[in-house]
Each structure stands twice: as structure tokens, then as C-alpha cells.
Amino acid sequence: MRGITETVKHLLIINVLMFIGTLTIQNGVFYNWFALHFPKNDLFQPWQILTHMFMHGNFMHIAFNMFALWMFGTAVEQVFGARKFIFFYISAGLGAAFVMLGVYYLQYLPLESDILSAGFTSTQIHDTMSTGKVMEGVNITQRDQLQSMFYIFNSSMVGASGAIMGVLVAFGMLFPDSKLMLIFLPVPIKAKYFIPGIIALDLISAITGQSFFSPSNTAYAAHIGGALTGFLMIWYWKKTQFNKNRWDR
């Protein structure tokens, strides 16, 4: 593939192979193995924290992410080198996963505490979350709490978006004056304005639940986590580039 750096090429291939696996291994088996599930769910496995970033939900999902990986990742890898780029990419993806899980736990645990304090047991809660059958004796408020918990408990996360948001941040910091355009807004905007604008929209979406350009089920908190991880890594590397903690290719 001309015009594509080696690590980006390999990442593209892995993502496509994983997407083919999702399509060909039916009944959700492949998806449940490798998508990131909420840790309290029986479907959760530790490796999903890594593998989810190579999974995608549909063709448009993987097409958009792989286009962004090729467009921005190639330029970033040319500056970083292969080892540094793959470390950066995986770290941004992990940062996205941990931020998303952290948000879920902040939402889930207070609700679980309220249900437990009402006299219900952890086993009853788990059975309700696993089956969707609400236990007897709950009031209207508790039913609403269990419904919110059920959504989080049975959520799953897939996609390279968190890692790619980190790559976007790296691109913006390395090539701040490069001009970018949205398909539906054909006006060139410098990367140092364009990319913070995209992150700001994700942050607004994460807080308000209002979707601007992405589907409503987008994990906006994961986008923020990937972008923040990418920013912190670039900031640290720039700060330590002349001392013993610098990253050497």
C-alpha cells in the first residue's frame, strides 16, 4: 500500500480481519468474546480492554475510523516512528476504555448502593441485570434505577475511535497549521482550531447527550478519554525530550 506507513497498514488489516470475524461468526459469539463489556457482566473478560479497539459495529463505523486512521495516523507515524506510534495508539485506546468504564461506574455504583440499602441482595440485582426480569417488591423509583443499571450492565463498547482521537490530537499538535475540512462543511480550517473544535463537540455531547455528527449510541466519554490520553502523552514527551526520560526511537 503506497502512502501508508507500516504500522498503520497492519492496524488497518487487523481491524478488517476482526470485522470479518464479527460478520462470519454468527450468534454474537465473536462479538461477545472481543467487545468490551461492563466488568460486572458475566460476558466481561480482561482481554476485552485491548481487543475492543479492533472491533466495529457496522460498515460505516469501520470505514470512517479506518479512513481517519489512514489520513492522520500515517503522518503521525512518520514523525514518531513505528514503536513510538503503536505505543501511543494503544495507550490512547486504553485511556478511552478506562475513562468510559469510569463514567459507567460513577453512574452505576450509587444506584446499586441505593438498591442494596433497600434490602435487596447482590444476587437479586445480578439476576435482574442478567435476565431483565425485575424482582418483586420494588417501587417506581427503584424500577427506574434498575432500568438505568440494566442499560449500563448490558452495554458494550467497540471501535478504534478512542485511539484515533489520540492520533487526532497528536496530528493537531505536530501539524497545527495543516488545513482540514469536514465533508458537509467545505471550509478549510487549521488543525489547531479544527481538532479542539471536534473534541469540544464530543465533550458537549458527553455532558448533554445531544449528538451532533455521530450516532446517538456513540461513546463520547471514550472519545474524550482517548483525546486526553493523547494530549498528556505528547505534552510529557515534549517536556522531557531533552532529558533522560525522552523517548528514543
Pick from 5, 20, 18: nearest CA to 71 = 5
What are the pLDDT digits (tens) for 100-134?
Answer: 999 999 999 999 999 999 999 999 999 999 999 98
Assess contact for 230 and 167: CB atoms under 8 A: yes
Query: Which residue ranges make up each domain of the chain?
Result: 6-239
Which residue in the block uniquely carries the three cell numbers 447482590?
Answer: 122
Separation between Cα atoms, residue 137 and residue 117, nearest integer Å = 14
Query: How large is the angle between the packed helices 220-239 and 161-174, nearest 10 degrees?
Result: 40
Note the pLDDT of residue 134: 86
pTM here is 0.89
Separation between Cα atoms, residue 166 and residue 230, nearest integer Å = 4
Separation between Cα atoms, residue 197 and residue 34, nearest integer Å = 32
Q: In sequence order, what E strands does 114-242 have?
A: 156-157, 179-182, 185-190
Q: In sequence order, what E strands does the chain have?
A: 36-37, 156-157, 179-182, 185-190
Assess contact for 205 and 214: CB atoms under 8 A: yes
The rounded average pLDDT for each run of 10 residues, N- to C-terminus, in the chain (249 residues) is 84 97 90 96 97 94 94 95 96 97 96 95 95 90 95 95 96 90 71 86 78 67 94 89 54
Task: Check the CA dihedral 14-19-24-28 and report its sign.
Answer: positive
Separation between Cα atoms, residue 229 and residue 124, nearest integer Å = 37
Give the chain's count of helices (H) and strands (E).
Answer: 11, 4
Separation between Cα atoms, residue 225 and residue 110, nearest integer Å = 22
Assess contact for 128 and 146: CB atoms under 8 A: yes
Note the pLDDT of residue 1: 44
Q: Map residue 249 onto helix, strand or coil.
A: coil
Longest dimension (CA), the chain: 64
Separation between Cα atoms, residue 90 and residue 82, nearest integer Å = 12
CATH 1.20.1540.10 fits 6-239, yes or no: yes
